[in-house]
Structure 1
Amino acid sequence: MGAADRGLAVLAVTDVVDAELVPGGTAGAGTAVHADRDRQLSPETVAAIEASAAASTRRAYGADREAFAAWCLREGRTVLPASGETMAEWVRHQTITPRPRTNRPAGPSTIERAMSAVTTWHLEQGRPKPNMRGARAVLNAYRDELAEQKAQAAHARQATAALPAQIRAMLTGTDRTTLAGKRNAALVLLGFATAARVSELASLDIASVAVAEHGYDVTVYRKKVRRHTTNAILYGTDPATCPVRALRTYLAALDEAGRRDGPLFVRVDRWDRLAPPITRGGRTIGDPAGRMTAEAAAEVIERLADTAGLSGDWSGHSLRRGFATAARAAGHDPLEIARAGGWADGSRVLARYMDDVDRVKNSPLVGIGL
């Protein structure tokens, strides 16, 4: 575990000793007085707290918190608890300081995430949440400034939606006679059909797939909402983009290779064989059963879009966004879309995806006689 990950839930186990997970009262009649032992967390509990967030969130929040702590140290400011003035100054610092990778200041959404990382850090450490009024005023002024400058950063970055036409183009150049090609076709089509995040796709096991009269039932664990969804995978009208046919073909190829259990999406080497375990210094790293990582699954999607010559901002999230957009365009109910894709009730992200369709279909200009 790197330093960034360790910063997610707690600074370190020794720091947690002083953190109040339950508000302590004033000692007196009828009031519990907590001993030092009552304030301690074991390393195992610390790890469990950290594991409650997605790995990508842990990395991002950890990096944000380290950056904030380093800035406070340079500026002679208190890290925890931070004052409202410190938060406002820190946000202002981010709006004017170029980042090494892009040579431009962070965008509003990146700063928003960093603010959340620091405020939740306070809560995790039993500290009062800092006053964010000044920080939010600085961020709002920054948004206005970017919009007036017509800067690209004024718009929140979104993955390009992978709609059926784009998916068809992505798979046209895929050699589906190979194990890798069969895997990639199943990954793309199943990812779209289940509206799965790449981390959810990578977590699927062969046992997650059940044959059904309509095709398959695939059970996906949606970590962000902490529940399972069982998605009905139906036959497509076009054999080239039919998720049932693609999944059946891939499962048959796995069976032929002797793989009947374990992870569904696995690494394939350059000789088109199931990849052996990866070792470093004589020790096995990664999943010994050859499970693909979420990053590898995302790379498949990005590479197929690039090979197909598709323009846009392609990522592992393109399939999930494409599902929401296509389903809404076909007239499906937003609640059913949310349930199928494991979105939280009232998800603003899902609403934004569907708004791409609704702003035209439900425009007040429709039918007014212009």
Structure 2
Amino acid sequence: MKNDRFNPSQAVVPRAQDAGPLQDSLGASEASIQSLLREGSSENTLAAYRSAIQYWAAWHQLRLGSPFLLPLPVNTVMQFIADHVEHVTNQGLAYDLPAEVDAALVAAKVKRKVGPFKLATVRHRLAVLSEAHETQDLPNPCRSRAVQTLLERVRSAYAKRGERPARKDALTKEPLEQLLATCDDSLIGLRDRALLLFAWASGGRRRSEVMRATMENTRRVPEGFLYTLGYSKTNQDGVERADSHKPVVGRAAAALEAWLTAAAITSGPLFRRVRRGGVIGEGLGAEAVRKIVQARAALAGLSGDYAAHSLRSGFVTEAGRQGLPLGETMAMTGHASVASVVSYHRAGAALSAKAGRLLERDSDINEAPVLDPAADSIGHD
């Protein structure tokens, strides 16, 4: 193809040429502005944004034969959706992306494998494109009635087919105990035990929040430790809040104390790399939480699909199982939206609900076996 020299690593969001008013009024260089934007975003957000823009650029060049320039017309966004989601045909489900373009995108390493995207991936790609337009104050095709209507129909079609978003299993108390049982008293075992308990027991911390935990923002108290969450996904301004302080007590506190003592950590990040010979290195990256969870799940012989978010969804699900009020649960997790946490909480509480046993006698209710809702796949936020 004529575009086989395309280099996705060079893809950036094309910007409006005239940035004069902003530069004239603020006297700020573009490099400074971009630096501030990067610093104010998490590494995961930046990586996801970069990946999405690279894909848009590659798809536009290979599919339409022209460079990716903003603003995009509405019909281009509509074509992108049709290329990446499945629709019903006489031969079954199909998508519009030509096979040769699909293969070229995989060869360019901007797509893992040929085939349609998951609906969640398409929505994320569109969200990034929308943000790119909004940031540059350009007409946003993603907000057009045509695109919004098509997305609504696509979501309904997928729902009618019984397709639900892929979700990680929740690490409720029982599977978490199995992970912890794989942690020995080596430095790595002490660290992993402390990390898992810290992340879970302090309210299901996000992996970025775990990595930002330091000796400076995690102080010892008579009950254990108190972790002050100065910045989070739902508090990006770092505003002091009553629920910014997360308790690390009981077993979680004991595990953290054992790790800090063994690793001789007195300042800086709590959780760090352990190099050969027991040398304590730099702080772990956010991706390390996922790897630790998955490695420990494999050692424990768990068959579910677990990742870093399993700690968060597991905490909320377990809170529902044990009857912890939703408000108290949210104060621990830091969720800003009830809608994003209530599904986990209700899933945990569902099998203990009296409403499900209205036909049974009281004695039957008392003797009924308690099932574990963690046997089902619980969601990803």
TM-score (norm 2): 0.76
1:149 and 1:332 map into 2 onto residues whose CA distance is 35
Corresponding residue for 2:80?
90
1:159 and 1:60 map into 2 onto residues whose CA distance is 19
The change in CA–CA distance for 1:6 and 1:78 in structure 2 (over 3 A counts) is closer
Corresponding residue for 1:71?
59
2:291 and 2:212 map into 1 onto residues whose CA distance is 16
SS at match of 1:221: coil
Q: Residue 83 of structure 2 aligns to which amino acid in structure 1?
A: H
Q: Residue 192 of structure 1 aligns to which amino acid in structure 2?
A: W
Q: 1:134 aligns with which of 126, 142, 146?
A: 146
1:369 and 1:83 map into 2 onto residues whose CA distance is 60
- Count the aligned residue pairs: 323
Q: CA-atom RMSD, angstroms?
A: 2.9
Q: 1:51 aligns with which of 36, 39, 45?
A: 39
> 1:122 offset after TM fit, Å?
0.4
Q: 1:62 aligns with which of 35, 50, 66?
A: 50
Corresponding residue for 1:156?
165
Identity between Structure 1 and Structure 2 (%): 23
Corresponding residue for 2:307?
315
Corresponding residue for 1:38?
25
1:88 and 1:310 map into 2 onto residues whose CA distance is 41
> 1:316 offset after TM fit, Å?
1.1
Q: Residue 80 of structure 1 aligns to which amino acid in structure 2?
A: L
CA offsets 1:134-158 (integer angstroms, 9 cap, x no match): 33443444445545555xxx22122
SS at match of 1:206: coil
Q: Is 1:167 the equivalent of 2:176? A: yes
CA offsets 1:20-44 (integer angstroms, 9 cap, x no match): 9xxxxxxxxxxxxx58623875212
Q: Is 1:329 the equivalent of 2:335? A: no
Alignment of 1:99-118 (within 5 A): 100-118=111-129
SS at match of 1:216: strand
Q: 2:223 aligns with which of 208, 211, 214?
A: 214
The change in CA–CA distance for 1:157 and 1:366 in structure 2 (over 3 A counts) is same
SS at match of 2:228: strand
Alignment of 1:230-309 (within 5 A): 230-235=245-250, 242-255=251-264, 259-275=265-281, 290-309=282-301
Contact map agreement 1:5 1:62 (CA 8 A) in 2: no
Name which of structure 1's ranges 113-122 and 328-337 shifts more when overlaid on structure 2.
328-337
2:356 and 2:22 map into 1 onto residues whose CA distance is 67
1:163 and 1:329 map into 2 onto residues whose CA distance is 9
Corresponding residue for 2:4?
none
Q: Residue 264 of structure 1 aligns to which amino acid in structure 2?
A: L
Contact map agreement 2:11 2:57 (CA 8 A) in 1: no
SS at match of 2:276: coil
Q: Residue 56 of structure 1 aligns to which amino acid in structure 2?
A: N
Name which of structure 1's ranges 297-306 and 211-220 shifts more when overlaid on structure 2.
211-220
Contact map agreement 2:320 2:347 (CA 8 A) in 1: no
Name which of structure 1's ranges 359-368 and 182-191 shifts more when overlaid on structure 2.
359-368
Corresponding residue for 2:345?
354
> 1:205 offset after TM fit, Å?
1.0
The change in CA–CA distance for 1:305 and 1:35 in structure 2 (over 3 A counts) is closer
2:319 and 2:227 map into 1 onto residues whose CA distance is 18
Contact map agreement 2:169 2:310 (CA 8 A) in 1: yes
> 1:113 offset after TM fit, Å?
0.8
Contact map agreement 1:92 1:138 (CA 8 A) in 2: no
SS at match of 2:166: coil
SS at match of 2:117: coil
SS at match of 1:128: coil
Unaligned runs of 5+ in 1: 21-33, 236-241, 276-289
Q: Is 1:193 the equivalent of 2:201? A: yes
1:291 and 1:105 map into 2 onto residues whose CA distance is 37
2:26 and 2:11 map into 1 onto residues whose CA distance is 19
2:23 and 2:307 map into 1 onto residues whose CA distance is 47
Alignment of 1:335-346 (within 5 A): 335-344=327-336, 346=337
Contact map agreement 2:215 2:270 (CA 8 A) in 1: yes
1:90 and 1:59 map into 2 onto residues whose CA distance is 21
1:352 and 1:69 map into 2 onto residues whose CA distance is 36
Corresponding residue for 2:367?
none
Contact map agreement 2:38 2:46 (CA 8 A) in 1: yes
CA offsets 1:189-217 (integer angstroms, 9 cap, x no match): 00101211111111211222222222221
2:26 and 2:60 map into 1 onto residues whose CA distance is 26
> 1:173 offset after TM fit, Å?
2.3
Q: Is 1:121 the equivalent of 2:121? A: no
TM-score (norm 1): 0.78
Q: Residue 233 of structure 1 aligns to which amino acid in structure 2?
A: V
Corresponding residue for 1:18?
18
1:105 and 1:117 map into 2 onto residues whose CA distance is 18
Unaligned runs of 5+ in 2: 1-6, 86-94, 362-381
